[in-house]
A and B are shown apart, each in its own frame.
Chain A
Amino acid sequence: MSNTNEKIRLEHITKRWGEVVAVDDLNLKIEKGDFITLLGPSGCGKTTTLRAIAGLDEPTEGKIFIDNKLIFSKKEEIIVEPSKRNLGLIFQSYALWPHMTVFQNIAFPLQMKKLPKPDIKKYVAQALKDVRLQGYKDRYPAELSGGQQQRIAIARMLINRPDIYLMDEPLSNLDARLRIEMRAELKQLHQKLEATTVYVTHDQVEAMTISSRVCVMNEGVIQQIGTPEDVYRRPANLFVARFISNPQMNFFDGTVKKENGKMVVEAGGFRLPVDEEKINGRDSVIVAVRPEDFYIADDGVEYHVDAQLPAGSSQIIMVSRPGEEQVALLFEGTFKNKDGEKMKLAVKPETYNIFDKETEKVLV
Chain B
Amino acid sequence: MSDLAIQSGSPLLRRLKRNYSQPQRIIGLILLLLLLFFVFMPMVNLLYTSFTLSYSDQRLPEVKASGVEFEEGKFSLVHFRRVFMSKLSKPMLLIPLMNTLLITAGLTILSISWGCLLAWLVVRTNLPGKKALANIAALPYIIPSWVISLAWINVFKNQRIGGSIGWFEYMTGIAIPNWFAYGPVPIIICLSLHYYAYAFITVSGALASIDSRLEETGELLGANRWQVMRKITLPLVMPSILAAFILTFSKGIGTFGTPAFLGIPVRYYTLSTQLYANVKNGLEGDAYLLAIVMILISGITIYMNVKVIGARKSYVTIAGKGFRAKPIDLGKLKHVVFIIMVLFVIFFVLFPIYILLAQTFMEAEGDYSMANFTTHFWIGEAGSIGSKGQVMGMGESGILRNPSIYQGAWNSLRLAVLVSFLAAVIGIFLGYAIVRGKGTILSKMNDALSFAPYIIPGIAFGAVYLGMFAQPRGPIPALYGTFSLLVIVSLAKRLPFSSRTGTSAMMQIDRELEEAAGLVGAGFFKKFTRIIYPLTKSGFVAGFLLSFITTMRELSLIVLLVTPKTKVLTTMIFRYAESGFHQFGDAITMIIVVISITGTLLIKRFQSTSLVKGV
The 26 sampled A-B contact pairs (Cβ below 8 Å) are A56-B515, A56-B518, A66-B1, A69-B1, A76-B11, A77-B12, A77-B14, A77-B15, A82-B518, A83-B521, A83-B522, A85-B2, A87-B519, A89-B516, A91-B515, A92-B512, A95-B516, A97-B513, A97-B531, A97-B535, A98-B513, A98-B535, A98-B611, A99-B611, A112-B522, A112-B526
Interface check A336, CB cutoff 8 A? no
Contacts of A186 in B (CB 8 A): none
Q: How far is the CB of A38 from chain B (nearest CB, A)?
A: 18
Q: B508-534 toward A: CB 8 Å interface, digit per residue (1/0)?
A: 001011011111111000100011001
Known: A84-B2, A108-B530. Is A99-B521 also a contact (CB below 8 A)?
Answer: no
Interface check B66, CB cutoff 8 A? no
Known: A77-B11, A98-B615. Is A88-B18 also a contact (CB below 8 A)?
Answer: no
Interface check A273, CB cutoff 8 A? no
Interface check A258, CB cutoff 8 A? no
Complex Cα distance, B611 from A113, in Å, reads 28
Interface check A80, CB cutoff 8 A? yes
Contacts of A88 in B (CB 8 A): 519
Task: Give the A interface residue count (CB, 8 A).
Answer: 35
Complex Cα distance, B510 from A91, in Å, reads 11
Q: Judging by beta carbons under 8 Å apart, are B12 and A82 in contact?
A: no
16 new A-B contacts at CB < 8 Å, known A76-B11, A82-B519, A98-B614: A69-B1, A69-B2, A71-B2, A78-B14, A80-B1, A83-B518, A83-B521, A83-B522, A88-B519, A91-B512, A91-B515, A97-B513, A97-B516, A98-B513, A108-B522, A112-B521
Within 8 Å by CB of B1, from A86, A98, A99, lies: A86
Task: Give the B interface residue count (CB, 8 A).
Answer: 30
Known: A97-B513, A141-B615. Is A85-B14 also a contact (CB below 8 A)?
Answer: no
Interface check B612, CB cutoff 8 A? yes
Q: Judging by beta carbons under 8 Å apart, are B520 and A109 in contact?
A: yes
Q: Judging by beta carbons under 8 Å apart, are B2 and A89 in contact?
A: no
Complex Cα distance, B517 from A156, in Å, reads 11
Q: A237-276 toward B: CB 8 Å interface, digit per residue (1/0)?
A: 0000000000000000000000000000000000000000
Q: A98-137 toward B: CB 8 Å interface, digit per residue (1/0)?
A: 1100000000110011000000000000000000000000
Q: Judging by beta carbons under 8 Å apart, are B12 and A84 in contact?
A: no
Known: A84-B2, A84-B3, A112-B526. Is A95-B518 also a contact (CB below 8 A)?
Answer: no
Contacts of B1 in A (CB 8 A): 66-67, 69, 80, 84-86
Contacts of B515 in A (CB 8 A): 56, 82, 89, 91, 95
Interface check A160, CB cutoff 8 A? yes
Contacts of B534 in A (CB 8 A): 99
Interface check A79, CB cutoff 8 A? yes
Contacts of B520 in A (CB 8 A): 83, 108-109, 112, 160
Interface check B224, CB cutoff 8 A? no
Closest Cβ neighbor of B513 among chain A residues: A95
Q: How far is the CB of A37 from chain B (nearest CB, A)?
A: 20
Interface of B is mostly: helix
Q: Judging by beta carbons under 8 Å apart, are A54 and B2 in contact?
A: no
Chain A interfacial positions (CB closer than 8 Å to B): 54, 56, 66-67, 69, 71, 75-80, 82-89, 91-93, 95, 97-99, 108-109, 112-113, 141-142, 156, 160
Contacts of A69 in B (CB 8 A): 1-2, 4
Within 8 Å by CB of A109, from B2, B4, B521, lies: B521
Complex Cα distance, B4 from A141, in Å, reads 38
Closest Cβ neighbor of B11 among chain A residues: A77
Within 8 Å by CB of B512, from A83, A93, A156, lies: A93
Q: Judging by beta carbons under 8 Å apart, are B517 and A108 in contact?
A: yes
Q: B602-615 toward A: CB 8 Å interface, digit per residue (1/0)?
A: 00000000011011
Complex Cα distance, B512 from A109, in Å, reads 15
Q: How far is the CB of A6 from chain B (nearest CB, A)?
A: 15
Contacts of B516 in A (CB 8 A): 89, 91, 95, 97, 156
Contacts of A98 in B (CB 8 A): 513, 535, 611-612, 614-615
Complex Cα distance, B530 from A98, in Å, reads 11
Contacts of A92 in B (CB 8 A): 512
Complex Cα distance, B535 from A56, in Å, reads 21
Complex Cα distance, B517 from A89, in Å, reads 11
Contacts of B612 in A (CB 8 A): 98
Closest Cβ neighbor of A104 among chain B residues: B530
Complex Cα distance, B3 from A76, in Å, reads 15
Known: A82-B518, A84-B1, A109-B521. Is A95-B615 also a contact (CB below 8 A)?
Answer: no
Q: Which of B2-20 contact A (CB under 8 A)?
A: 2-4, 7, 11-12, 14-15, 18
Among the interface residues B2, B612, B615, which one has the most CB atoms of the partner chain A within 10 A?
B2
Q: Which of B478-537 contact A (CB under 8 A)?
A: 510, 512-513, 515-522, 526, 530-531, 534-535
Q: How far is the CB of B264 from chain A (nearest CB, A)?
A: 52
Complex Cα distance, B535 from A78, in Å, reads 33
Closest Cβ neighbor of B17 among chain A residues: A77
Contacts of A75 in B (CB 8 A): 11
Q: Judging by beta carbons under 8 Å apart, are A89 and B611 in contact?
A: no
Complex Cα distance, B15 from A69, in Å, reads 20
Closest Cβ neighbor of B533 among chain A residues: A99
Complex Cα distance, B174 from A113, in Å, reads 82
Q: Which of B583-615 contact A (CB under 8 A)?
A: 611-612, 614-615
Q: Judging by beta carbons under 8 Å apart, are A95 and B512 in contact?
A: yes
Complex Cα distance, B73 from A255, in Å, reads 89
Complex Cα distance, B521 from A80, in Å, reads 12
Q: How far is the CB of B443 from chain A (nearest CB, A)?
A: 15
Q: How far is the CB of B472 from chain A (nearest CB, A)?
A: 44
Contacts of A77 in B (CB 8 A): 11-12, 14-15, 18
Complex Cα distance, B516 from A91, in Å, reads 8
Contacts of B614 in A (CB 8 A): 98, 142
Known: A77-B18, A78-B7, A98-B535. Is A142-B615 also a contact (CB below 8 A)?
Answer: yes
Known: A69-B2, A77-B18, A99-B611. Is A83-B519 also a contact (CB below 8 A)?
Answer: yes
Complex Cα distance, B522 from A84, in Å, reads 11
Contacts of A160 in B (CB 8 A): 520
Within 8 Å by CB of A95, from B14, B510, B526, lies: B510
Q: Closest 9 CB pairs between A and B?
A: A109-B520, A83-B521, A98-B615, A95-B512, A77-B11, A95-B516, A80-B2, A77-B14, A91-B512
Contacts of B2 in A (CB 8 A): 66, 69, 71, 80, 84-85
Complex Cα distance, B9 from A77, in Å, reads 10
Complex Cα distance, B522 from A141, in Å, reads 20
Q: Which of B214-249 contact A (CB under 8 A)?
A: none
Contacts of B530 in A (CB 8 A): 108
Contacts of B518 in A (CB 8 A): 56, 82-83
